[in-house]
């Protein structure tokens, strides 16, 4: 089983103060990890540190116990896939050709049968077989999200980093997406780290939640242990009512939601 570790990492964008400080965690079994915290706290930045897009100044990221800066770009891309928040596509491309791009870390000049096989499998797993020849730009937001997940899967990664995979989806498509992610984790035995704002969905689906506050990890535990009324208030300044039924966390807004909103 693969392992990804953040050891005491700090990060800042050039000319700015530290955004992330002394971040430590270790993931070594198939699971869905939710990265939570208010806007601008550094969730997307942390995802980008994990696959080396953002170069950490202090500390190290290890994949399978090897510093990620010691991997070639190709090697790293074969192991850790990234699904961006924005799934806008600038050019005309079929679903199959787009998903095949996930095989670039393996191919030299042209795709071989193994590449097509991996792309076809990814397309099937994301229920996109009927759309293979369609232009990605002509798909709905939910379908396009699945195409991006399929492109990540085609590269046969051990870890997938997803930046708000449900942000542009309606509630049904959000549930479908999270069910799909959970199924992929089970079947492919992969680790998925995702940022998510919807606390109810995080409570229902995440195996583990990492909460960020002031650039640091504030809580890192199960959904039941992290998504408490006190913790949510401390992080977001919002009053909620949390119920736990059969080990699942249900988060509801309270009557007086927060100090700045009097009534709805």
Binding site for ligand ADP (CB under 6 A): 13, 16, 19, 37, 39-45
Residues contributing to the site for Mg ion (CB under 5 A) = 43-44
CA dist list (Å): 62 to 192, 207, 229, 244: 16, 21, 34, 35
Closer by beta carbon to ligand ADP, 41 or else 153: 41
For the CB of residue 84, give the shortest distance to ligand ADP in the complex, in Å. 12
Q: Give SS3 for 181.
A: helix
19 contact choice in Mg ion, ligand ADP, none (CB below 5 to 8 Å, kind-dependent): ligand ADP
Query: Cα–Cα distances in Å, from 65 out to 48, 110, 160?
Result: 19, 32, 17
Question: In this complex, which beta carbon is closest to Mg ion, that of residue 43 or of residue 208?
Answer: 43
Of the pair 41, 81, the CB lying nearest ligand ADP is at: 41
Minimum gap (Å) between residue 163 Cβ and Mg ion: 6
The kind and range of the H/E element at 42 are none
* CA–CA distance, 46 with 224 (Å, rounded to integer): 23
Q: How far is the CB of 108 from ligand ADP (least distance, A)?
A: 32
Hey, what's the torsion of the CAs at 205, 64, 20, 146, to 10 degrees? Answer: -40
Find which of Mg ion, ligand ADP, none residue 34 binds, CB within 5 to 8 Å per kind. none
Q: Is the CB of 55 or the CB of 114 nearer to ligand ADP?
A: 55
**What distance in Å separates the CA atoms of residue 162 and residue 79, rounded to the nearest whole number?**
14
- From the CB of 149, what's the least distance to ligand ADP, in Å? 19
* Shortest separation between residue 139's beta carbon and Mg ion, angstroms: 23
User: What is the rounded CA–CA span in Å between residue 129 and residue 146?
Assistant: 11
Q: 45 contacts which partner out of Mg ion, ligand ADP, none, CB within 5 to 8 A by kind? A: ligand ADP
């Amino acid at each position: 089983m693969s392992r990804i570790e953040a050891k005491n990492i700090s990060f800042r964008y050039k000319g700015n103060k530290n955004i992330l400080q002394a971040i430590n965690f270790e993931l070594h079994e198939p699971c869905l990890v939710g990265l939570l915290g208010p806007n601008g706290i550094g969730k997307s930045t942390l995802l980008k540190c994990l696959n080396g897009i953002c170069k950490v100044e202090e500390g190290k990221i290890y994949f399978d116990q090897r510093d990620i800066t010691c991997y070639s770009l190709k090697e790293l891309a074969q192991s850790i896939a990234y699904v961006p928040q924005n799934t806008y596509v600038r050019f005309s491309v079929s679903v199959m050709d787009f998903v095949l791009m996930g095989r670039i870390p393996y191919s030299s000049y042209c795709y071989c049968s193994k590449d097509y096989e991996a792309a076809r499998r990814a397309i099937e797993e994301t229920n996109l077989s009927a759309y293979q020849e369609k232009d990605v730009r002509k798909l709905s937001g939910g379908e396009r999200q699945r195409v991006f997940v399929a492109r990540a899967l085609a590269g046969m990664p051990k870890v997938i980093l997803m930046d708000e995979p449900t942000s542009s989806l309606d509630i049904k498509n959000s549930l479908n997406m999270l069910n799909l992610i959970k199924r992929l984790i089970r079947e492919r035995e992969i680790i998925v780290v995702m940022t998510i704002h919807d606390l109810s969905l995080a409570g229902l689906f995440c195996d583990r939640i990492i909460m960020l506050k002031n650039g640091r990890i504030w809580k890192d535990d199960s959904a039941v242990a992290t998504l408490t009324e006190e913790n949510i208030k401390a992080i977001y300044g919002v009053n909620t009512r949390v119920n736990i039924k059969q080990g699942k966390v249900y988060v509801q807004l309270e009557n007086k939601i927060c100090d700045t909103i009097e009534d709805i």
